């Protein structure tokens, strides 16, 4: 471990670094690591008071608290650093990148291994917390604001509270794009919506085939629903040039006598096209023979372009 190696690490991991002089005097993350190395030597020689005093002074100067008992590897870079806390039994490997507000905390009161182990080449995003004697595998990425309470396999991407594995294992990628993180909950919701749409299609097919044989009035409503669906295929979303049915914006059509309820899913109710699309849908449905009253509801549900692309690919 050398000062020159630490300075090179800053230039490699922070594009804002302009000069060696700036790095030496103006990077608190670097100062905290250097102070920790001195404190750790005293700690290993059982000079606990001197070790804690050095770490306390370093915290006052840098805003970064690293317990002198923690083990920090080579080329560890703490970017910005304010609010970073690393506990006594924490172990941090080589080439780890830590952003501001990160906590490597403990979950026990006994004097045992109670802080996390961070393996090599891990990236921990702003405000993330890793709690307990868990292991974060080599090359893993922890998204900003995540709370990790379970061990993470090598190369995984973890987001959320509590942290969930949301990305594939990509050991070759080191950078963490904080603006483009996967959302595991949105994936689950999208799959549920896909499943619901398939079930609704099967039910409509069974109704058309007469499996649910009922009164002739119900058959008329089914036929009217099909006419409404065909009419809505003529309503085009001007942003993408695709009709609202194929685009998946029509969530459901309910027919009762001569009244029709159309439920739509838009990207957002604040979308500037929401009034235009709902009005076009209402007018087009009123043009269908047998329809006297139309209600258009915009549901508060997410619409996913990727899901639409997958559905078109299957068709």
Residue with tokens 């830590």: 98
281 and 163 within one domain: no
309 and 212 within one domain: yes
216 and 144 within one domain: no
Q: Which two tokens stand for residue 62?
A: 């840098």
| DSSP E strand boundaries for 90-226 | 91-92, 97-98, 103-105, 117-118, 123-124, 129-131, 135-136, 141-142, 147-148, 157-159, 164-167
128 and 93 within one domain: yes
Q: Which of 167, 195, 228 is the last residue of a domain?
A: 167
155 and 238 within one domain: no
Q: What is the pLDDT of residue 178?
A: 53
Sorted by sequence, the CB contacts under 8 Å of residue 269 that are 6+ apart come out as 298, 300
Q: What is the pLDDT of residue 185?
A: 66
162 and 19 within one domain: yes
120 and 68 within one domain: yes
56 and 130 within one domain: yes
Interatomic CA distance for residues 269 and 272, integer angstroms: 8
14 and 137 within one domain: yes
49 and 14 within one domain: yes
Q: Which two tokens stand for residue 132?
A: 């307990």
Kindly provide the b/e burial profile for residues 298-312, where b requires at least 16 CB atoms within 10 angstroms of the residue's own CB: beeebbbeebbeeee
| DSSP E strand boundaries for 93-223 | 97-98, 103-105, 117-118, 123-124, 129-131, 135-136, 141-142, 147-148, 157-159, 164-167
In this prediction, the residues of the chain whose per-residue pLDDT falls under 50 are: 170-172, 215, 305, 308
Q: What is the pLDDT of residue 278?
A: 85
Q: What is the CATH number of the domain that holds 302?
A: 3.30.300.130
Q: What is the pLDDT of residue 19?
A: 92
Q: What is the CATH number of the domain that holds 11?
A: 2.160.10.10
Residue 174 contacts residue 139 (beta carbons within 8 Å): yes
Residue-by-residue DSSP string for 294-307: EEEEEES----HHH
Q: Which of 133, 167, 201 is the last residue of a domain?
A: 167
Q: Which two tokens stand for residue 11?
A: 């230039």
Tell me if 172 is assigned to some domain.
Answer: no
Q: Residue 215 sits in which domain range?
A: 184-314
| CA-to-CA separations, 111 to 3, 40, 88, 115, 233, in angstroms, rounded | 33, 18, 10, 11, 68
252 and 192 within one domain: yes
Tell me if 280 is assigned to some domain.
Answer: yes
DSSP 236: E
Q: What is the pLDDT of residue 306?
A: 53
* Number of domains comprising the chain: 2
**Is pTM beyond 0.95 here?**
no
Interatomic CA distance for residues 117 and 177, integer angstroms: 23
9 and 132 within one domain: yes
């Amino acid at each position: 471990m050398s000062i020159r190696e630490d300075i090179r690490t800053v230039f490699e991991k922070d594009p804002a670094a302009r000069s060696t002089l700036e790095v030496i005097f103006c990077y608190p993350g670097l100062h905290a690591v250097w102070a920790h190395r001195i404190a750790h030597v005293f700690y290993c020689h059982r000079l606990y008071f001197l070790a804690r005093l050095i770490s306390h002074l370093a915290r006052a100067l840098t805003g970064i608290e690293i317990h002198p008992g923690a083990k920090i590897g080579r080329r560890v870079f703490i970017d910005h650093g304010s609010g970073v806390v690393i506990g006594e039994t924490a172990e941090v490997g080589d080439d780890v990148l830590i952003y501001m507000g990160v906590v490597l905390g403990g979950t026990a009161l006994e004097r045992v291994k109670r802080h996390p182990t961070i393996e090599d080449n891990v990236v921990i995003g702003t405000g993330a917390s890793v709690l307990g004697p868990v292991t974060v595998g080599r090359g893993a990425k922890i998204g900003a604001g995540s709370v990790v309470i379970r061990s993470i396999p090598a190369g995984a991407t973890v987001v959320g509270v509590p942290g969930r594995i949301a990305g594939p294992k990509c050991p070759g990628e080191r950078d963490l794009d904080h603006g483009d993180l996967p959302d595991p909950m949105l994936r689950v919701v999208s799959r549920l919506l896909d499943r619901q749409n398939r079930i609704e299609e099967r039910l409509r097919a069974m109704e058309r085939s007469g499996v649910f044989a009922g009164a002739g009035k119900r058959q008329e409503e089914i036929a009217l629903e099909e006419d409404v669906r065909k009419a809505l295929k003529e309503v085009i979303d001007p942003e993408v040039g695709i009709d609202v049915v194929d685009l998946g914006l029509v969530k459901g059509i309910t027919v009762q006598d001569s009244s029709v309820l159309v439920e739509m899913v838009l990207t957002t109710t604040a979308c500037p096209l929401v009034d235009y699309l709902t009005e076009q849908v209402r007018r087009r449905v009123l043009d269908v023979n047998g329809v006297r009253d139309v209600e258009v509801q915009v549901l508060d549900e997410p619409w996913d372009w990727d899901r639409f692309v997958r559905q078109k690919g299957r068709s």
